[in-house]
Structure 1
Amino acid sequence: MTLVSFDGVTVALTEVQDNPAKYARALERAKKAPGYAVCRCLPTSPKTPLRLVIRRYGSLFHLARWPDDGHRHNPKTCSFYRAASEPARSINDTLAAIRTIACGLDVKLSTSLSVRTVDQSTRLSSHATPGAMSRRAAPLLGFLQRVWEEAGLNEWTGAPSRGWGTCNAQLVSVLGDGKLNGKPMQDVLHVMRRYDDADGSCVLAELRSFLDRIKTTPAKADRALLIAELRSVEPSKYGFVIKLRQTYETFFASKAVIESAVDSFRSAWAMIGEASARVVVLAVIERTKEDNLRIVDLALQLCNSTFLPCDSSFEVAMANRLVAERRRFVKPLRLEQGDAMLPDFKLTDTTVPTAIEVYGMQGNAQYMARKAEKQALYAREGTPCVEWMPPIDLASVQLPAAA
């Protein structure tokens, strides 16, 4: 358990993440003086404290890793840890779709946040400079997974559990005061807060205030993004109704949007409503002329019960077992070219990091070829590897003991 100190109090980090409203005033005072909080994951001297950035997000405050200080944290227990040899992705790529900046993330999405008339769009596009090198744009799922990785939510340090409150805190601390398609991040992206009875009215008021910014006029339709846990998708008279956890707000989607989601995110779609899994949605929202909230595009990320990203129901089962056994591990995310050969999971609590492969598509020629390539790679590099090939019982798979 990681402890943090600010404004004369020392509490568990998870307590601050799950109850941000309770500590808002104390964090606001600490942000003014001395200008930071302190992580207590390791003993330090008063002259070299493990400082944490205090970032404001809406009316609340969240803790983030101090720049270039991640390697000083406890690698076994602290979510603020980042190895010194583990630079941020695309840090020196000026054309990268997602860049890490001092105040958060600078993101260019492939999705437009404002849809204008044809005539206006034509005039705007005519000002583009011919031959100019344009910045790449990230798809919705690529953005969602990148934020998950930056927030350290693809890593597990042996804790017994993790809820949406922790996810929210780590996500907004990474997003910070960044930019999304040139606009202030907090103006166009909302990460749904964990609902609790003591602060429920504030949670709903924040969401309502954010959604009220989405306007549709005869000239244009403004859009915004929402990250939340998906509860259900139900057919309706005119399409589908999408329901999210933490709120009773209703969102609609067309048949075409849902059919595209089913085709693009098959593993996640099949696990909606399953008790052993979580499905996170990044939704692009606009208003109809009738003032209803409509989802015009979305990405789904399948997770295990503690919000670790997974690629299949079999990976969900493996991740749940590793969490139940209090193992330390990471789920590498395949975000760039060259990431295809990453393991499904990697145990970090063994003497030598151990790869875990979940081979769940026996009989697919292309999949089997990549399996053989991975096995050859592990043998060539001497990497220990644990394999599970469903439908073999997961309980029969022997894991190496933790060091």
Structure 2
Amino acid sequence: MQDNPARFATRLERAKKSPGYAVCCCRPSPGDTPLRLVVRRYGALFHLARWPDEGYRHDRDKCTFFAEPGPTEESPGRAHDAIRNTPAGLNAKLDVSLSVRTVGTVTRGASTGASRSTRRSAPLLGFLQRIWMDAGVNQWAGGTQRNWGTCNAQILALVGDGKMNGKPIQDVLYVMRRYEEAAQATLKAEFDAFLNRIQTTPAVSERGIVIAEIKSIDPSKYGFVIKIRQTFETFFTSKQLIEDAARSFRHAWPMIGKADARVVAVLVLERTKDGNLRVIDLAVQLCNKSFIPCDSSYEVAMANRLVEERRRFIKPMRLDDGDVMLPDFRLTDTSPETAIEVYGMESNDAYLIRKAQKQALYAERKLPCAEWIPPAPLSTVALPAAT
């Protein structure tokens, strides 16, 4: 259903109307209480999402809708959080303008003197990482593979009928669909309909945001061309933006186009006065072949090994300053769970100090931890057997 949502659209639409939900059969339901799933519409298709605060009820070992109680669960969040999960879907405020006046001046209303709290806004990378975590794409349940179609379904289930910067999220955000030869015309028409909403008039510039996997970034006569997978559409951008991005995302940038990695991007699109589409801002996230987020090429190698060995694990994601004990990965198929640390900056003195502190904390708290210290071969790392 996640890989081929069009095939099940009629049945999901019927379930959304009556009884108003789908049912997950990963484990027996206690009494007469079904294990419900939210049915969310996105364009002409429907997707399934876990019922708010019920992710922990699903089968931990087998079900993709399982989630530990906590930040990966859907909850309204605090009123001033930049990104909130609501029953209708995602409610996000990004620190980019999606509608910009191109003429005239902007006037501000007179201050009343009253104290007002301003809702925070999220940077593009923070937004991308947050939806990756909340959609559960940073978790691996021990399967053999995951393609872009599954990522698309999980993200769209999270997005739902939400809002972004006060606008209907389906009007301003497009998550690329997995390419299918048989549905090529439909996919192109759907993407073109979204791109046609991105317009620049003498009065206003309406922008759009696309989440997709980057295929390549190539120099052109006037700057660079960004090519994304799943479509033949290309986008132009400036040399300055590409140079800035290469510095900001220095671990992900060299991995673009590599066979053993994936690089996912969030692109802010604007239409020029000549009618061309250009990227005016972007953020990228490095992933392994199965779209598990990673912070370095070494982590990509480790995540690929864990998937190949069908281990169950999570990539913890630090969205702000916090837990110093957050590991690079955490095996969830051992008891107790096992931390995995990938140490890759042995020539940096400050890094070595933090590494020693972390190792001391693991020893003090008696927490199991498997370490990989490149350039030692990954094959030399002994991982505990799944329990």
Q: TM-score, normalised by structure 2?
A: 0.96
Q: Residues 236 and 129 (structure 1 numbering): CA distance in 2 closer, same or farther, change over 3 Å?
A: farther
Q: 1:384 aligns with which of 368, 372, 378?
A: 368
The structural deviation recorded for 1:43 is 2.2
1:167 and 2:167 are equivalent in the alignment: no
1:268 matched residue in structure 2: 252
Query: Superposition pairs for residues 198-237 of structure 1, below 5 Å?
Result: 198-237=182-221
Residue 41 of structure 1 aligns to which amino acid in structure 2?
C
Q: Secondary structure at the match of 1:23?
A: helix
Q: 1:151 aligns with which of 132, 135, 139?
A: 135
Residue 270 of structure 2 aligns to which amino acid in structure 1?
E
Q: Residues 379 and 184 (structure 1 numbering): CA distance in 2 closer, same or farther, change over 3 Å?
A: same
Once the two structures are superposed, residues 183-209 of structure 1 have per-residue CA deviations (whole angstroms, 9 ceiling, x without a partner) of 111010000000101222111111100
Conserved? CA contact 1:282–1:299, under 8 Å: yes
1:283 matched residue in structure 2: 267
Moved more, 130-139 or 380-389: 130-139
Once the two structures are superposed, residues 210-258 of structure 1 have per-residue CA deviations (whole angstroms, 9 ceiling, x without a partner) of 0000010122211110000100000000000000000001100001110
Equivalent-residue separation in structure 1 for 2:343 and 2:159 (angstroms): 34
1:55 matched residue in structure 2: 40
Once the two structures are superposed, residues 358-384 of structure 1 have per-residue CA deviations (whole angstroms, 9 ceiling, x without a partner) of 001111122112212211221121111
Conserved? CA contact 1:334–1:340, under 8 Å: no
Conserved? CA contact 2:340–2:370, under 8 Å: yes
The structural deviation recorded for 1:339 is 4.0
Q: 1:241 aligns with which of 225, 229, 237?
A: 225
1:64 and 2:36 are equivalent in the alignment: no
The structural deviation recorded for 1:35 is 1.4
1:34 matched residue in structure 2: 19
Q: Secondary structure at the match of 1:25?
A: helix
Conserved? CA contact 1:142–1:335, under 8 Å: yes
Q: TM-score, normalised by structure 1?
A: 0.92
Once the two structures are superposed, residues 75-99 of structure 1 have per-residue CA deviations (whole angstroms, 9 ceiling, x without a partner) of 1121211223556488542211111
Equivalent-residue separation in structure 1 for 2:230 and 2:306 (angstroms): 27
The structural deviation recorded for 1:394 is 0.3
Once the two structures are superposed, residues 324-377 of structure 1 have per-residue CA deviations (whole angstroms, 9 ceiling, x without a partner) of 000000000010220453100000101111100000111112211221221122
Conserved? CA contact 2:84–2:90, under 8 Å: yes
1:181 matched residue in structure 2: 165
1:84 and 2:76 are equivalent in the alignment: no
Equivalent-residue separation in structure 2 for 1:103 and 1:179 (angstroms): 9
1:317 matched residue in structure 2: 301
Once the two structures are superposed, residues 95-137 of structure 1 have per-residue CA deviations (whole angstroms, 9 ceiling, x without a partner) of 111111111111110111122247433x1x4456665221111
Equivalent-residue separation in structure 2 for 1:294 and 1:178 (angstroms): 26
1:106 matched residue in structure 2: 91
Moved more, 279-288 or 375-384: 375-384
The structural deviation recorded for 1:276 is 0.1
**Runs of 4+ with >6 A deviation:** none
Q: State the identity as a percent.
A: 60
Residue 188 of structure 2 aligns to which amino acid in structure 1?
L
CA-based RMSD: 1.6
Q: Residues 128 and 294 (structure 1 numbering): CA distance in 2 closer, same or farther, change over 3 Å?
A: farther
Residue 330 of structure 1 aligns to which amino acid in structure 2?
I
Equivalent-residue separation in structure 1 for 2:96 and 2:111 (angstroms): 18
1:341 and 2:325 are equivalent in the alignment: yes
1:11 matched residue in structure 2: none
Give the gaps of 5 or more residues in structure 1.
1-15
> How many pairs align?
386
Q: Residues 174 and 87 (structure 1 numbering): CA distance in 2 closer, same or farther, change over 3 Å?
A: closer
1:256 and 2:240 are equivalent in the alignment: yes
Residue 78 of structure 1 aligns to which amino acid in structure 2?
C
Once the two structures are superposed, residues 2-54 of structure 1 have per-residue CA deviations (whole angstroms, 9 ceiling, x without a partner) of xxxxxxxxxxxxxx111111111111111111211111111236722111111
Q: Residues 127 and 87 (structure 1 numbering): CA distance in 2 closer, same or farther, change over 3 Å?
A: farther
Moved more, 306-315 or 82-91: 82-91
Q: Secondary structure at the match of 1:93?
A: coil
Give the gaps of 5 or more residues in structure 2.
none
Equivalent-residue separation in structure 2 for 1:65 and 1:359 (angstroms): 35
Q: Secondary structure at the match of 1:148?
A: helix
1:301 and 2:294 are equivalent in the alignment: no
Q: Residues 324 and 117 (structure 1 numbering): CA distance in 2 closer, same or farther, change over 3 Å?
A: same
Residue 265 of structure 1 aligns to which amino acid in structure 2?
F
Q: Secondary structure at the match of 2:244?
A: helix
Residue 261 of structure 1 aligns to which amino acid in structure 2?
A
Equivalent-residue separation in structure 1 for 2:111 and 2:359 (angstroms): 48
Q: Residues 85 and 218 (structure 1 numbering): CA distance in 2 closer, same or farther, change over 3 Å?
A: closer
Equivalent-residue separation in structure 1 for 2:265 and 2:111 (angstroms): 33
1:23 matched residue in structure 2: 8
Equivalent-residue separation in structure 2 for 1:175 and 1:69 (angstroms): 18
Equivalent-residue separation in structure 1 for 2:275 and 2:337 (angstroms): 53
Conserved? CA contact 1:90–1:98, under 8 Å: no
